[in-house]
Each structure stands twice: as structure tokens, then as C-alpha cells.
Amino acid sequence: MTLFRGLVAFPITPMNADGHVDTAALSRLVRRLVEAGVDSIGVLGSTGSYPYLSRAERRRAIEAAVAEAGGRVPVMAGIGALRTDEAVLCAQDAKAAGAGAGLLAPVSYTPLTEGEVFTHFETVAGATDLPICIYNNPGTTHFTFGDALIGRLSRLPNVGGVKNPAPETAAAAAISALRVLTPTGFSVGYSTDWNATEVLIAGGDAWYSVLAGLFPGVCKEIHSAVAQGDHAKARQRNEHLSSLWQLFRNFSSLRVIYAAANLIGICDAVPPLPIQPLAEPARRQVAETLDRLGLAT
Amino acid sequence: MTLFRGLVAFPITPMNADGHVDTAALSRLVRRLVEAGVDSIGVLGSTGSYPYLSRAERRRAIEAAVAEAGGRVPVMAGIGALRTDEAVLCAQDAKAAGAGAGLLAPVSYTPLTEGEVFTHFETVAGATDLPICIYNNPGTTHFTFGDALIGRLSRLPNVGGVKNPAPETAAAAAISALRVLTPTGFSVGYSTDWNATEVLIAGGDAWYSVLAGLFPGVCKEIHSAVAQGDHAKARQRNEHLSSLWQLFRNFSSLRVIYAAANLIGICDAVPPLPIQPLAEPARRQVAETLDRLGLAT
């Protein structure tokens, strides 16, 4: 299966101030990704603001993306929710809307124990035959998966991979530690765009990318160079993007990518309040960086 | 006004597995608090699991508590939500349901900036005349208010107080730092039961208490002793509860207080999944501790 492999691109979910999804704009974003030949499209990731959307709007977003992808590229969808019963419903909705996989984060308010997260995943996975990717994103969920817990979860029949934040260093050791604890074929993939190149070189199975959700071409260049064994080229292309990575670090990839999407004119979207769009001078920095990188159009 | 002063007791919100509030059980809890003479009742705090409840269920819970309190004790209600527009609606619902104040936490998924939190509070406060207490609870919201931000927010017309986690040490310094930055009459109050006695002795205006939501008497003893200047008695009564505070620290006050509420037979409630009830042997430790403290009935 091609799920949880290669370059997985996560677009924003354009919506109005009331959280109503602009499916036409989302379809334009998805079309761009299909045409660029990404391996999968991830809608309703953290970049897709899934926790800020109602169940009905989440379903509309998935349906629009699946329709636009038209079977050419698999669509995975965020299915996380604060309550277990709601995550079950979101998983079933995603399946019904045609998603090929679900991305499940342990969204929390009251801090969760390892046992609670295991049971949450077991319940959601058991309520659907949708292939599920463990979404480990401590920066938003405030739960950090240890390798042992990922190992236990990887034994659930339809849990097929993990999306971990890419480590700053020692990627090879991180990957082999997980390989030991997970079955053959279980996908060990990574987010955190600015560290992704080294993780791909170290053997990561997938790059879950925010930048690729808007600019798939530059990310595909890196991914393809690694796939062809041309690490020097991959590193050079990654280095070329360093000013953009710095903006991601400074202002968050979400806020930067919203600004970029508006700047290139593909949509006119703002993140859901209380999250605010980038103000000046940050927005101008994004504009200048896109210009310099030849991404502005 | 007596709002945001004295002992504020936070009961759990008993509900079924689907998140339907058991208003009869909640009313029994509220009656216990009214009879004990707490200064205010805080429904739908973190202990009241507000983010796990639908708007309709939150409203039902507030209405039941207000009806039971019958004007004898003011009721404050959690009005936090992930989206700004939803927090506005929750504030307006709370007002319409008869709450005397709203407790507003900056619930987050995408980490928020100071400016975003300020605007969120400004928007919610501006949409209601409900007196609002800033709910600073970094352990659940993952946003930490600096003193300067509390100072700015304290200038909004209807923001009347802050509920801070009680510091482990140096409570007097923490309080005076905030007094300098906030108007006269602005309430500087504290949660974190096991540190509350020292904070009251140091001059804190309110104790926002989980334990008082089920066992108001023992907390009132401490609060009254401090009010009467009998710090030795307050410290002795607090010390008497140290085994219970240790359980709060080890297993979280939420899970312990659910177990305790069931053990004394006032309700038969479980926290919302994915949060699980305390398992053995922790539950037995709670039972033994309540027994030893004479709280078991």
C-alpha cells in the first residue's frame, strides 16, 4: 500500500469566520497537490485546523478533497477529538466520506495517562476498518508517545504507521529504536518540515509536510533526491529553503502557510479565532521570502 | 461583591457515558455546598469537565446549579472554548442561565500568542456583562499568563479576578507582584488545593477548590481559621489532609474526586472517556484515606 509512504502533503482548510469550509478553495489546493504528484494528501491535520471544525464541516472538507483527488491520490483525514465517542464518529465519518486513512491524535484537556491513550486508540481503531496513523504531536496535544506505547499500538490490526515530530538530531537512532518495537511494514514517518530531510536520509518512511500542502514541488524535489540516493542534492535543496524554515520556527508553520496561501492568491482565508493571521512585518517577511525563492506566483 | 472572594467550591459534573448531565446528582452536590456555606460555587471548571460537554449540556448544568443554589450562593460557570465565537456563546448562555460570573480559560490546540489570548478575552468580555475571572491553568490549557498580561486584562471593565495555580513557595511575593499591576478590588485568587493554605495566609483573595466541591467542611475550616488570623490552626488542618493532597498529586485531583464522590454514594459517575476512573489499588487508597479522615460518609 502507498498509504503512510513518501510525501504526504497537508493543506490548510480554507473557511470563513464561522468555521464554514470553502470547499472550492480547498479543491483548488488539492488539485495543485494531485498535479504535483504527491504520494498522499492529508486533510484536517493540525494545519487543517481539525479541532476547530464541527463534525459536519469536517465531513464536507473530506468529501471535497476526495472528490477532487478522484482516486488518483489517497486522502488521509484527521479524526482526532477530545472525547472518545466523538473520535469514533469522526473515524466513521471519514471512512464514509471516502478517506483512505485516518490520522488520530490524542487531543487532550485533562492530561491523559498512557493507559487512557491506549484505550482511546483501541476503541477508535476497533470501531472502523479505516487504516489509522498514530499522530504524535506533543506541541498541540500535550501528550508525548513513548516508543513502547507506539510499539503496543502498532499491534492493533489497522494501526499502520506513526507520524512523529522529526528529531533535531540522531534521526537514524530514533528510527531504528522504533523498528525494533513495531511490525515489519509499519510506517515510521515524520513531520516538522525543517528536520525532515535528514530523517528521510536516515530512512524514515514518510514526510508529513506542511510546506508540501501549498508548495509540493520544492518538497518533492527533496523527497525524490533522497529516493534516488542523491543526498547532496536533497541537502542543497533543503538548505535553499532555510529562510522559510526560519519563518516556520519563528511564527509557526500554520500562520506562515496561511499568509503564503493568501499571498499567492489561491484563497483568501484566515485561521480560526483566537488564532490570528500574521501581522506586519512578519507577513511582509513571508512575501519577500516567497519572492526570493521563486514561489510567489 | 462576594464574587471571586473566599472559598469557591468546584463540584464535578456527573454525567452518563454520552455526556448527558445527571442534573439530579449535580443538584445534590450543589445542595451540600450551599448547606456548608461556601462563598461561591464554580460549576463547569476543569473538575466539572466543561470542554467535554456540548453547549446544551453545559447550559443544563448551569441551570440546575443555579436553581439549587436559589440565590443563596452565587454560581460561577466555566465559559472556555477552543473557538472565540463559541466562548462568546458560552458566556451568553451562562448569563442567560443565571450564572453570576464566568470563568474563562484560553483553551488551546494550536499554541496561542499573548496577543491572541488578549484579543480572545477582550472579545468574550465585550460580548457580555457577566463578570469574568481569568482562568490561568497551564496544566490543561498549555498557556501561561504572565503578570503583565493579567495586568492588561484586569483593565477590561468586567474582568474582575484571576484564578492562578497556587505557587509552591513565595506566595506573598507572587501576590504583591500582581497587586502592583491590577486595579484595587481586582481579585487575586488561587487553585491547587495543596498549596492553597499558604496562599490564603499570604493574602490571596480566593481559594478555588476541588476538594471543597465534595468536602466543603474541611476546606471551610482552613479558610475560616485564616480569616480569623489563626494561622497555626489553618496549617494544622491543612497538614491533617496531607495524605489526600498526596493522592491529588499522584493521580490528579479530578480522578481522585470522582472516586471519592462515588465512594461516599452521592453519585455514580465516571469521567468522560478517554479519561478513566481510578483503578485499583488507587481507588482503595482513596477509600482508606477518606475513612481515616472521617470523610467516608
Mean pLDDT of chain B: 97
pLDDT band at B162 (very low <50, low <70, confident <90, very high): very high
Q: Which triple of cell numbers denotes residue A125?
A: 481503531
Does the pLDDT value for residue A214 go beyond 90? yes
Which one of B50, B95, B163, B220 is the catalytic residue? B163
Predicted complex ipTM: 0.96
B144 shares contact with chain A (CB less than 8 Å): no
Q: What is the pLDDT of residue B289?
A: 98
Q: How far apart are CA B247 and CA B252, in angstroms?
A: 7
Q: What is the pLDDT of residue B236?
A: 98
Does the pLDDT value for residue B132 go beyond 70? yes
A200 to A164, A186, A203, A225, B272: CA distances (angstroms) = 13, 16, 5, 10, 39
Q: Are A102 and A133 in contact (CB under 8 A)?
A: yes
Query: What average pLDDT score do residues B153-175 get?
Result: 96
Q: How far apart are CA A77 and CA A101, in angstroms?
A: 6
| Pairs of CB atoms within 8 A across A/B | 89
Interface contact flag, B85 A18, Cβ < 8 Å: yes
Does the pLDDT value for residue A54 go beyond 80? yes
Query: What average pLDDT score do residues B6-23 get?
Result: 97
A106 to A103, A124, A191, B60: CA distances (angstroms) = 10, 11, 16, 28
Contact list in B for residue A139 (CB cut-off 8 A) is: 111
pLDDT band at A290 (very low <50, low <70, confident <90, very high): very high
Interface test with A, best of B122, B256, B275 (most A CBs within 10 A): B275
Q: How far apart are the first and last CA of chain B?
A: 34
Does the pLDDT value for residue B251 go beyond 80? yes
- How many H helices and E strands in chain B? 13, 8
**In a 3-state reduction of DSSP, which class is residue B75?**
strand
Does the pLDDT value for residue B221 go beyond 60? yes
Does the pLDDT value for residue B297 go beyond 90? no
Q: What is the pLDDT of residue A240?
A: 97
Q: What is the pLDDT of residue B3?
A: 86
Q: How far apart are CA A16 and CA A267, in angstroms?
A: 11
Q: Torsion angle of alpha carbons B112, A51, A134, A33, nearest 10°?
A: -90
**A135 included as an active-site residue:** yes
Q: Which triple of cell numbers denotes residue A107?
A: 487531543
- pTM of the predicted model, to two decimals? 0.96
Phi-psi region at A252: left, alpha or beta (left = phi > 0; alpha = psi -120 to 50): left
Nearest Cα neighbor of A44 from A84, A110, A90, A7 is A90
Contact list in A for residue B123 (CB cut-off 8 A) is: 273
What 8-state DSSP symbol labels residue B278? P
B85 shares contact with chain A (CB less than 8 Å): yes
Interface contact flag, A52 B17, Cβ < 8 Å: no
pLDDT band at A3 (very low <50, low <70, confident <90, very high): confident
**A163 included as an active-site residue:** yes
Query: What average pLDDT score do residues B267-275 get?
Result: 96
Query: What average pLDDT score do residues B98-103 get?
Result: 98
DSSP chain A: --TT-EEEE-----B-TTS-B-HHHHHHHHHHHHHHT-SEEEESSTTTTGGGS-HHHHHHHHHHHHHHHTTSS-EEEE---SSHHHHHHHHHHHHHTT-SEEEE----SSPPPHHHHHHHHHHHHHT--S-EEEE--HHHH-----HHHHHHHTTSTTEEEEEEEPPSS-HHHHHHHHHHHS-TT-EEEEE-GGGHHHHHHTT-SEEEESGGGT-HHHHHHHHHHHHTT-HHHHHHHHHHTHHHHHHHHHH-HHHHHHHHHHHTTS----PPTTS-PPPTTHHHHHHHHHHHTT---
What top-level class would CATH report for the domain A6-228? alpha beta
Query: What average pLDDT score do residues A188-199 get?
Result: 97
Q: What are A116-169's pLDDT values in tens digits?
A: 999 999 999 999 999 999 999 999 999 999 999 999 999 999 999 999 999 999
Strand partners, B135: B163
Q: Are A114 and A149 in contact (CB under 8 A)?
A: yes
A169 shares contact with chain B (CB less than 8 Å): no
Q: Are A28 and A266 in contact (CB under 8 A)?
A: yes
**In a 3-state reduction of DSSP, which class is residue B271?**
coil
Q: What is the pLDDT of residue B131?
A: 98
Q: What is the pLDDT of residue A256?
A: 98
Query: Which pairs from A29-32 meet CB under 8 Å and 24+ separation?
Result: A29/A213, A29/A214, A29/A261, A29/A266, A29/A267, A30/A64, A30/A65, A30/A68, A30/A69, A31/A68, A32/A214, A32/A216, A32/A266
Does the pLDDT value for residue B1 go beyond 70? no
Q: What is the pLDDT of residue B2?
A: 73
Task: Spell out the domain ranges in chain A.
Answer: 6-228
Interface contact flag, B115 A276, Cβ < 8 Å: yes
**In a 3-state reduction of DSSP, which class is residue B248?**
helix
What is the number of other CB atoms lying within 10 angstroms of the CB of residue A285?
Answer: 18
Is the bond leading into B274 cis (omega within 30 degrees of zero)? yes
Query: What average pLDDT score do residues B196-203 get?
Result: 97
pLDDT band at B98 (very low <50, low <70, confident <90, very high): very high
Q: What are A228-244's pLDDT values in tens digits?
A: 999 999 999 999 999 99
B234 Cβ contact partners less than 8 Å away, ≥ 6 residues apart: B197, B200, B201, B222, B223, B225, B226
Phi-psi region at A203: left, alpha or beta (left = phi > 0; alpha = psi -120 to 50): left
Does the pLDDT value for residue B31 go beyond 60? yes
Q: What are A70-84's pLDDT values in tens digits?
A: 999 999 999 999 999
Does the pLDDT value for residue B128 go beyond 80? yes
Q: What is the pLDDT of residue B45?
A: 98
Q: What is the pLDDT of residue B216?
A: 98
Q: How far apart are CA A260 and CA A284, in angstroms?
A: 10
Does the pLDDT value for residue A297 go beyond 80? no
Which one of B50, B95, B109, B135 is the catalytic residue? B135
Q: How far apart are CA A191 and CA B16, in angstroms?
A: 37
- Of the candidates A46, A115, A273, the beta carbon closest to that of B83 is on A273
Mean pLDDT of chain A: 97
Interface contact flag, A274 B52, Cβ < 8 Å: no
